[in-house]
Amino acid sequence: MMENIKYICNYEAPFGRITIGEKNGKITDLCFNEIKVSENVILKKTDILNKAVRQLDEYFLGKRKEFDLEYDFLDSIRSEFMIKVWNELLNISYGKTVTYSYIAKKIGNKNASRAVGMANNKNPIAIFVPCHRVIGKNGNLTGYYGGLDIKEYLLNLEKKNIN
């Protein structure tokens, strides 16, 4: 693989098409809209993308509770704070939810709930990095890059399949 090339594939999720991106053997994107093919972005299923697709299939069937993939947050626009938030999201167990303030405390900045929300909104690897598991402190579903209907779908899927 060439260093600057990103490979993408489209995936038909139960709620619509998503695009998965990979670069240098690591997942870089899971988008609810299509990534445009360009000089440095090639539509092609690599071994890593095939693995991601298999794991998504298992997840949507309720058979997979954890993803076994490597991620590269550095491929997207990010800050150290965002990367801290995204890494903390990986610690939220399947079928569980936590609040934005909980994540803020876990990363050592108890007053950063809003910033945690903004980092969640910029999460480049949704579903795999489960920002859908973060809810408002009153228990309500709040903003989600893919839309609240998809967030609700993912949470209900996990709740139904937890055991």
Residue 85 sits in a domain whose CATH number is: 1.10.10.10
Q: At 140, is the secondary structure helix, strand, or coil? A: coil
Whether 1 is in a domain gets the answer: no
CB 70 within 8 A of CB 77: no
> In this structure, are 154 and 103 located in the same domain?
yes
Q: Per-residue pLDDT tens, the chain, 163 aa: give them.
A: 445 778 999 999 999 999 999 999 999 999 987 777 777 888 899 999 999 999 999 999 999 999 999 999 876 667 889 999 999 999 999 999 999 999 999 999 999 999 999 999 999 999 999 999 999 988 888 888 888 999 999 999 999 998 7
Residues recognised as catalytic: 131
Spatial CB neighbours of 2, under 8 Å, sequence gap ≥ 6 = none
Q: How many structural domains are present in the chain?
A: 2
CB 21 within 8 A of CB 42: no
Q: What is the pTM of this model?
A: 0.90
Distance CA 101, CA 69 (A): 27
Whether 65 is in a domain gets the answer: no
